[in-house]
Amino acid sequence: MSELRSILDSAKKDDPESALREKQATARTAFEQARTAYTIYQNRLFAALENMQQMIDIKRLIEIIRRLEEDETKNIDELEKLRIEMQKKVLGLDEPKKDK
């Protein structure tokens, strides 16, 4: 960009027509280079932002999976407690023993 600016600033009103055309051609070349560099930078920036968004999405998914796993573990623990309780009731293990 600075090259383009210096080329544009170097043009004077009293320069010969051929010098102005040469500066104009040089300025166009510098402008195209600047545009290409900008496009490359913009594409790299958007790719980085997309990668960051994907990482955020992955972190969200991991958090959802962790919560699901915690809930599943709680449910398994509750079911195990219920199974033990039902087993004791069916087998009569939770009734107090009667002395004869």
Q: Which residue has the tokens 């043009």?
A: 11
pLDDT of residue 5: 67
Give the CA count within 13 Å in the CB-facing half-sphere of 21.
3
**94 vs 37, residue with greater confidence:** 37
- Reported as type and span, the H/E element at residue 66 is helix 17-91
Domain map (residue ranges) of the chain: 2-91
pTM of the model: 0.53
What is the C-alpha to C-alpha distance for residues 74 and 54, in angstroms, rounded to an integer? Answer: 30
- Express each pLDDT in 14-66 by its tens digit: 677 777 788 788 888 888 999 999 999 999 999 999 999 999 999 999 999 99
Beta carbons within 8 Å of 85's beta carbon, 6+ residues apart = 94
